[in-house]
């Protein structure tokens, strides 16, 4: 059935793709006055009640009510975005008036570790990467009761829904099925990146495996996600017709929203990284990698020394390991990891040549400014990346290195950098929407156009003011 929502202003970003031209990225977006979004689907909550109502409804009394209406629409697909006058010619389509708000596409959080949500507030922040990861490892390795994990995931889902997240790119190794259930409960889409880590690999049967053997790269927990496929009944995603069979290069069926990710250049065998990247390319999935996050990474890769070397020597590096003697970005390029199929996360420690290489390769770069600030690893050169034509998007990273999962707060962190390093609100809105959708290879979200999923966001007041869309 059809339902419609009216807003004082709509910023659909229709027809926009991720732009490599900063003039496009920074330009004011097209704002439509007094428009209606017509949606086809099955609706729940207040949206469902509106669908049953005959004729226009009164505007919700506050933004919270408007948010509840929007969350009830999330099973739908956009049929049209049209002026109110044109809509009045559609007979019998119930209309909910969202009032004096500005609607934008739902935001795309390109980098999270939702399975670490129960570690919020428990890690050592502010002292750099090595103290942080040393505090994280025993916590992440500890047995966590399923109810504690589930409660933390439910809270994470609430945070993501409250800021109108359409989709999240999630790094996972141990609990992808629990993450998917929590996201499904909040009608949030999820791309699961199974993390490849280490220098030694074994087959699912426990035999030592070559790092190029992609079947050995998949964390066992990803099988649960595949098993969950049959019951994976997001209202707007058709259920698979038959039981899936194991994917080529994987020990079990691979969920259509699952891909491989490398942990980092220093922690993972270069042959495994290249093999994972090739698997993603062959299977039309995005490959993700933490890249150039912290100064210890640069020191370790270029010299083989430093605090990170000491940490890795204990249990990660194989005997006789020697560092590549290169900076992270050129080393990633040499391994064939940088192109439009890769989502490189953080990209903080960059020199001018690194920025050029990232931009020219078409690699999608996910900035996580609040995580970088919390761990204290530096500030990514966001403005220089944008001006060089790099394809940018944003992620919150995990609650083990951030205060919340609100992507608008991530954008505010970039907006509020000193002049010359900051990004303007128009560019940030694009990073949160069309940029994120492109980075995760999702053609179904990121803008408001016929056929896209009806994942809509209320533009926060400060962004609305900056973009000149306050009433
Ligand atoms: Zn991360």
Work out the average pLDDT over 310-337.
95
Q: Is the pLDDT of residue 233 over 60?
A: no
At 228 the pLDDT is 73
At 471 the pLDDT is 54
Q: Which CATH number fits domain 2-106+457-466: 3.30.420, 2.30.40, 1.10.8, 2.60.40?
A: 2.30.40
- Angle (CA) 132 136 139, round 5°: 155
Work out the average pLDDT over 141-164.
93
Flag the least confident range among 68-82, 222-236, 451-465. Answer: 222-236
pLDDT band at 239 (very low <50, low <70, confident <90, very high): low
Going from the Cα of 297 to the center of ligand 1, the distance in angstroms, rounded, reads 14
Going from the Cα of 293 to the center of ligand 1, the distance in angstroms, rounded, reads 9
Q: 307 φ, ψ to 5°?
A: -60, -35
pLDDT mean across residues, the chain: 92
Going from the Cα of 398 to the center of ligand 1, the distance in angstroms, rounded, reads 7
Which of 30, 34, 45, 26 shows the shortest CA–CA distance to 9? 34
Going from the Cα of 365 to the center of ligand 1, the distance in angstroms, rounded, reads 13
Cα–Cα dist 5/218, whole Å: 43
92 or 308, greater pLDDT: 308
Going from the Cα of 114 to the center of ligand 1, the distance in angstroms, rounded, reads 10
Work out the average pLDDT over 349-365.
98
Count of beta carbons in the 10 Å neighbourhood of residue 317:
19
Work out the average pLDDT over 137-164.
92
Which region holds residue 404: left if phi is over 0, alpha if psi is between -120 and 50, else beta?
beta
Going from the Cα of 112 to the center of ligand 1, the distance in angstroms, rounded, reads 6
Q: 2 in helix, strand or coil? A: strand
Q: Is the pLDDT of residue 229 over 90?
A: no
Q: Which tens digits make up the pLDDT trace of 36-57?
A: 999 999 888 888 887 777 677 7
Going from the Cα of 45 to the center of ligand 1, the distance in angstroms, rounded, reads 34
At 235 the pLDDT is 42
Cα–Cα dist 3/52, whole Å: 9
Instruction: Name residue 291's beta-bridge partners.
Output: 346
Please name the CATH architecture into which domain 107-445 falls: Alpha-Beta Barrel (3.20)
Q: 208 in helix, strand or coil? A: strand
Going from the Cα of 92 to the center of ligand 1, the distance in angstroms, rounded, reads 48
Q: Which tens digits make up the pLDDT trace of 68-92?
A: 888 888 779 999 999 999 988 888 8
Within the chain, all domains assigned CATH 3.20.20.140 are found at 107-445
Using the CB atoms, write b or e for 327-345: b if 16+ within 10 Å: bbbbbbbebebbeebbbbb
Work out the average pLDDT over 262-267.
98
Within the chain, all domains assigned CATH 2.30.40 are found at 2-106+457-466
Going from the Cα of 110 to the center of ligand 1, the distance in angstroms, rounded, reads 10
At 236 the pLDDT is 47
At 56 the pLDDT is 74
Q: Which tens digits make up the pLDDT trace of 195-204?
A: 999 999 998 8
Q: Is the pLDDT of residue 18 over 90?
A: no
């Amino acid at each position: 059935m059809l339902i419609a929502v009216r807003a004082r202003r709509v910023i659909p970003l229709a027809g926009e793709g991720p732009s490599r031209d900063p003039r496009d990225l920074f330009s004011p977006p097209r704002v439509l006055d007094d428009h209606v979004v017509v949606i086809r689907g099955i609706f729940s909550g207040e949206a469902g009640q509106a669908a049953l109502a005959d004729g226009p409804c009164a505007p919700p009394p506050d933004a919270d009510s408007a948010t509840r209406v929007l969350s009830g629409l999330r099973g739908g697909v956009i049929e049209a975005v049209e002026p109110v006058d044109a809509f009045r010619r559609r007979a019998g389509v119930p209309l909910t008036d969202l009032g004096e708000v500005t609607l934008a596409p739902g935001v795309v959080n390109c980098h999270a570790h939702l399975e670490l949500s129960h570690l919020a507030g428990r890690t050592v922040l502010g002292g750099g990467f090595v103290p942080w990861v040393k505090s994280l490892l025993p916590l992440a390795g500890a047995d966590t009761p399923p109810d504690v994990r589930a409660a933390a995931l439910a809270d994470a889902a609430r945070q993501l829904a409250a800021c109108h997240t359409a989709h999240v790119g999630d790094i996972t190794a141990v609990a992808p099925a629990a993450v998917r259930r929590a996201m499904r409960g909040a009608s949030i889409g999820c791309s699961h990146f199974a993390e490849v880590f280490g220098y030694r690999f074994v087959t699912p049967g426990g035999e030592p495996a070559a790092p190029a053997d992609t079947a050995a790269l998949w964390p066992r927990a990803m099988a649960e996600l595949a098993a969950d496929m049959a019951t994976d009944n997001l209202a707007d995603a058709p259920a698979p017709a038959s039981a899936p069979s194991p994917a080529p290069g994987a020990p079990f069926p691979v969920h259509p929203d699952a891909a491989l990710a490398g942990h980092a250049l220093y922690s993972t065998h270069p042959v495994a990284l290249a093999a994972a990247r090739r698997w993603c390319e062959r299977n039309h999935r995005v490959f993700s990698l933490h890249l150039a996050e912290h100064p210890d990474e640069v020191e370790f890769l270029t010299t083989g020394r430093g605090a990170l070397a000491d940490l890795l020597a204990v249990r990660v590096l194989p005997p006789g390991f020697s560092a590549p003697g290169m900076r992270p970005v050129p080393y990633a390029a040499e391994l064939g990891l940088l192109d439009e199929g890769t989502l490189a996360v953080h990209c903080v420690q960059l020199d001018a040549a690194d920025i050029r290489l990232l931009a020219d390769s078409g690699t999608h770069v996910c900035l996580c400014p609040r995580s970088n600030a919390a761990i204290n690893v530096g500030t990514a050169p966001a403005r220089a990346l944008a001006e060089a034509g790099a394809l940018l998007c944003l992620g919150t990273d995990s609650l083990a290195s951030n205060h919340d999962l609100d992507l608008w707060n991530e954008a505010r962190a970039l907006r509020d950098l000193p002049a010359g390093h900051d990004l303007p609100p128009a560019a940030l809105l694009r990073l949160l929407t069309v940029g994120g959708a492109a980075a995760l290879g999702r053609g179904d979200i990121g803008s408001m156009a016929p056929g896209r999923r009806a994942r809509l966001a209320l533009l926060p007041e400060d962004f609305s003011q900056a973009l000149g869309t306050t009433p």
